[in-house]
Structure 1
Amino acid sequence: MKPAKVTLLHRMLHCLKHVDCNIVKYFTSTYLLVNISLFVIILFPFSVIAEAEDEYANFEELKNNTNPSDYGISTQEGNTSVLVLAIHGGGIEGGTSELARELSKHHSMYLFEGLMPSGNSVLHITSTHFDEPASLTMVRGHRSVISLHGYSADEKNIKVGGTDRNRAALLVETLHKAGFPAELLSAQDKYAGVSPDNIANKSISGLSIQLELSMGFRKSMFETFSLKSRSSTQNQTFYKFTETISDFINAQY
């Protein structure tokens, strides 16, 4: 998931508008222009990065501006009250597709995945804006949701959030006992996924567990971490992790 938008450039330009005229008069126009230009050149790249946001505001906008072959939607209805949700699969947040499909052998699943050879991050729609019709139907038809996501970090870690705070805490304990690194996020953490606008929280009960898997951890579950190879190079860590999650769901729901 992407961090919240930061309006650093806006604040910078706002400050420039309010430069004290008593100070400005001591500089020549040329000197002032050079300094302002350097200020903008130095900070602008960082402002753009901080301002980074999704290309598309919702699914309808994505659908109208992309080729249907660029992405795929898969669903699996199971005899269960729990839906495994992965809205950033394929090349968007690598590894979440494979996890969702393995878990769907025992539970319901909704999967949206980027299928382009490269540049799939453009298909990322943040959880609070994701509104693909089939996903909404499936979420609203299940009592609880397990939402799978990935974040960029070389360390091996699993961040556990969501609105179902009690079960989230139990899952962290379960993962620790199985030998996996995991931490319980506070409800205030940007990755916690507790907003009522988050698609994972639109279930019958409004209860969700959100798993944010680091890049380092996701890579550890595959021998070859590429879009084409992940489905055929799942290793022992992958199967141990999915078995741990599946057993937890069976025991707690």
Structure 2
Amino acid sequence: MTFSERTTSRRTVLTAFAAAAAAGTPLVGQLAAAAPAFAEADPGEYPSNTALYSDPARVEGTAYSRRYRRHEKSDLKQGEKYDFPRTAILALHGGGIEIGTSELALGIAGYSPSDAAGAPVLPTTYDYWMFEGLLSSGNTALHVTSRNCDDHVALSLARSHLNVLSLHGCKYEQLGMPEPTIWPPSTDPRLAVVGGLNPAFRTALVSELTKAGFPAIDAFDPKYGTRLNDFNGSHVTNPCNLTMLGKGAQIEMTTELRQSLFDDYSSRSARAATWNGEFVKFRDACRRAIATVEAGQPIL
């Protein structure tokens, strides 16, 4: 079966969603059978994670790694109800690809970037998945455009949660920000561009990041016109939007913003050892935004 034969349209996903709702059957199982439609890959990129994983020149554990954590939850008592995982954190281009995103994903999920395999360092934890480039150089060759991600674990996490926060990195000059009359201050290249199809999540993230001292904007703000279209996370097959609600959030962080979260940004080991107070502020702002969104999603 070819790659194109294995893909289906967004209509298939929505049809499965409607059929599941009408039949009163679990949505996750229905959606799992409806794979997202994959757009054409950017020039020079792998068309999917599957293609990358199938390349004999890219050995897992040497060229790249995948790490994830799903927290065990259960409700075994009649007459009582328990919380369940509602939010997952993704870093689709971690390690040496979009540097700092995998460390931040661990932090927001409640773990130490210094010891991902250890116990959580925060009382509330979130499920997470990350893909990390491990090459000594040239990690951008491992970049798979978000809308083409077909990693089974990443997609299953997205489809089994109400919310996804996906973390990305970009360069300030790629954004083409307008004159300082619209975006002050133009001399500060630290910027978080918040996207995804969940407007409530975007609003909470922009609010909390701004209050924490980080320049943050909503990628859908009409004052920016279409200049942020490539950074707004609006594609329906972007994993941040493949949630049970069909919408989620992502943050594009400029290099300067990501650098500010570490005292030494130069290597994996250095970042793991030198995440600083700015890292903690950014992490906690994202966690407050998640808490705000989840507060509007009560357990029924």
Kindly state the Cα deviation for residue 198 of structure 1 after the two structures are TM-superposed: 1.1
The answer on 1:219 being equivalent to 2:259 is yes
1:40-189 to 2 correspondence within 5 Å? 53-65=43-55, 66-68=58-60, 69-78=62-71, 79-105=84-110, 106-153=125-172, 155-186=189-220, 189=229
Kindly state the Cα deviation for residue 197 of structure 1 after the two structures are TM-superposed: 1.5
Kindly state the Cα deviation for residue 148 of structure 1 after the two structures are TM-superposed: 0.4
Q: Which one has a bigger Cα radius of gyration?
A: 1
> Which deviations, in whole Å up to 9, do the C-alpha atoms of 1:41-93 show, x marking residues without a partner?
xxxxxxxxxx9734211112111221112111111124420011110000000
Counterparts of 1:97 and 1:143, CA distance in 2: 21
Q: What does residue 230 of structure 1 align with?
A: 271
Kindly state the Cα deviation for residue 152 of structure 1 after the two structures are TM-superposed: 1.4
Which residue type is aligned with residue 86 of structure 1?
Answer: A
Kindly state the Cα deviation for residue 166 of structure 1 after the two structures are TM-superposed: 2.4
Kindly state the Cα deviation for residue 203 of structure 1 after the two structures are TM-superposed: 1.1
Which residue type is aligned with residue 141 of structure 1?
Answer: S
Counterparts of 1:54 and 1:94, CA distance in 2: 20
Kindly state the Cα deviation for residue 113 of structure 1 after the two structures are TM-superposed: 0.7
Which residue type is aligned with residue 46 of structure 2?
Answer: Y
Counterparts of 2:162 and 2:126, CA distance in 1: 12
Which is helix-richer, 1 or 2? Answer: 1
CA RMSD of aligned residues (A): 1.7
Structure 2, unpaired ranges of 5+: 1-40, 72-83, 111-124, 174-188, 295-300
Q: Does structure 1 conserve the Cα–Cα contact (< 8 Å) formed by 2:94 and 2:133?
A: yes
Counterparts of 2:218 and 2:274, CA distance in 1: 29
**TM-score, scaled to structure 2:** 0.65
3-state SS, counterpart of residue 149 of structure 2: coil
Counterparts of 2:86 and 2:42, CA distance in 1: 36
Q: Does structure 2 conserve the Cα–Cα contact (< 8 Å) formed by 1:70 and 1:116?
A: yes
> Which deviations, in whole Å up to 9, do the C-alpha atoms of 1:113-149 show, x marking residues without a partner?
1111111111100011011111111111111110100
Q: What does residue 19 of structure 1 align with?
A: none
Q: What does residue 7 of structure 2 align with?
A: none
Query: Alignment length, in residue pairs?
Result: 203
3-state SS, counterpart of residue 128 of structure 1: helix
Q: Which runs of 4+ in 1 moved over 6 A?
A: none
Q: What does residue 194 of structure 1 align with?
A: 234
**TM-score, scaled to structure 1:** 0.76
